């Protein structure tokens, strides 16, 4: 796919994410307890997630009819030979349910095993982080880059708390303890897509989490890489979209951080 085609697709996905964000904001406070379903342990979904996903899927099918889709709520069953959209219609559902103003729409396009387009829109601040292959990452149309901070003591990190896979809890807490003691702080924002977007624009120096799904990270991870960052799994490999674990940092801190996580989480 040509850079021009990818740019046009990205612009269309940007507009779509804006429309979906408006819908999400209109529904804040409208969800009651009977509207909430539990997909798994501490893993919630509402009619808002499902409706948003259906709207996104319909539009994406028109933008690129040959593409398949990997959808969090699996509202559409659509296969593609080469291209796949990877969609989280509402990343941060728990925040949304509790009216905490941080949640996002995340949409990525994969060409085979390679991500070639990513859009993450944080709805509450109306911030759209976007990138396509061959172009820099942008925030609302302005080029962004990862942080240049080189000392881990001055770095701010984000993570997520596992809500169903507690098999690595002790090791995770050791990592958490290390970063509590050796960085300027840790944050748990509640949306992995936003965590990654904030690494891309330099608000955070790094993000790590396990128990992740492709729709949580595909778009954000690509945006980080286009912004000059490094994204791997905990072992330093490339299985971070489907492998369930991810580390993203600026290039200066990567080796030090990856060594700590690899040793403690192995």
Percent of the chain with pLDDT over 70: 90
Q: Rounded to whole angstroms, how far apart are CA atoms 66 and 83?
A: 7
CATH of the domain at 127: 3.30.540.10
Do 139 and 232 lie in one domain? The reply is no
Percent of the chain with pLDDT over 90: 75
Do 25 and 139 lie in one domain? The reply is yes
Block residue for tokens 């529904």: 27
Strand, coil or helix: 74: coil
Do 16 and 100 lie in one domain? The reply is yes
Of 77, 109, 143, the last residue of a domain is: 143
Tell me which DSSP letter residue 82 carries. Answer: S
Block residue for tokens 């000392």: 151
Arithmetic mean of pLDDT, 56-74: 89
Helix pair angle (192-200, 214-226), 10° resolution = 0
Of 113, 143, 173, the last residue of a domain is: 143
Domain that holds residue 110: 3-143
pLDDT at 1: 85
C-alpha gyration radius of the chain: 17
pTM over 0.85: yes
> How many C-beta atoms surround the C-beta of residue 179 within 10 A?
22
Do 87 and 206 lie in one domain? The reply is no
pLDDT digits (tens, 9 = 90+) for 147-191: 999 999 999 999 998 766 667 778 889 999 999 999 999 999 999
* Residue 240 in this model has a pLDDT that exceeds 90: yes
pLDDT at 28: 84
Do 53 and 183 lie in one domain? The reply is no
Q: How confident is the model at residue 74 (pLDDT cuts 50, 70, 90)?
A: low
Please count the structural domains in the chain: 2
pLDDT digits (tens, 9 = 90+) for 251-265: 999 999 999 999 988
Of 78, 109, 143, the last residue of a domain is: 143
From residue 195, alpha-carbon distances to 17, 170, 177 in Å are 17, 23, 19
Cβ within 8 Å of residue 181, ≥6 positions away: none
């Amino acid at each position: 796919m040509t850079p021009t085609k990818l740019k046009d697709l990205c612009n269309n996905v940007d507009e779509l994410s804006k429309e979906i964000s408006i819908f999400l904001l209109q529904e804040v406070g409208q969800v009651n307890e009977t509207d909430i379903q539990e997909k798994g342990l501490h893993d919630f979904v509402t009619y808002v997630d499902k409706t948003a996903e259906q709207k996104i899927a319909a539009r994406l099918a028109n933008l690129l009819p040959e593409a398949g889709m990997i959808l969090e709520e699996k509202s559409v069953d659509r296969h593609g030979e080469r291209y796949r959209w990877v969609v989280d219609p509402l990343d941060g559902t728990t925040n949304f349910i509790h009216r905490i103003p941080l949640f996002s729409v995340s949409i990525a396009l994969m060409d085979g095993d390679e991500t070639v387009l990513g859009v993450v829109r944080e709805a509450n601040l109306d911030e759209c982080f976007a990138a396509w292959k061959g172009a820099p990452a942008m925030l609302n149309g302005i080029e962004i880059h990862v942080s240049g901070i080189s000392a881990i003591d001055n770095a701010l990190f984000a993570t997520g708390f596992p809500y169903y896979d507690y098999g690595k809890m002790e090791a995770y807490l050791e990592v958490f303890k290390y970063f509590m003691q050796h960085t300027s702080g840790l944050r748990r924002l509640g949306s992995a897509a936003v965590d990654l977007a904030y690494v891309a624009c330099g608000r955070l120096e790094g993000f790590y989490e396990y128990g992740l799904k492709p729709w949580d990270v595909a778009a954000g991870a690509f945006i980080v890489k286009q912004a000059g960052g490094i994204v791997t799994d905990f072992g330093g490999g490339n299985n971070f979209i489907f492998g369930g674990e991810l580390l993203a940092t600026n290039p200066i801190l990567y080796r030090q951080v990856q060594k700590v996580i690899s040793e403690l989480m192995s």
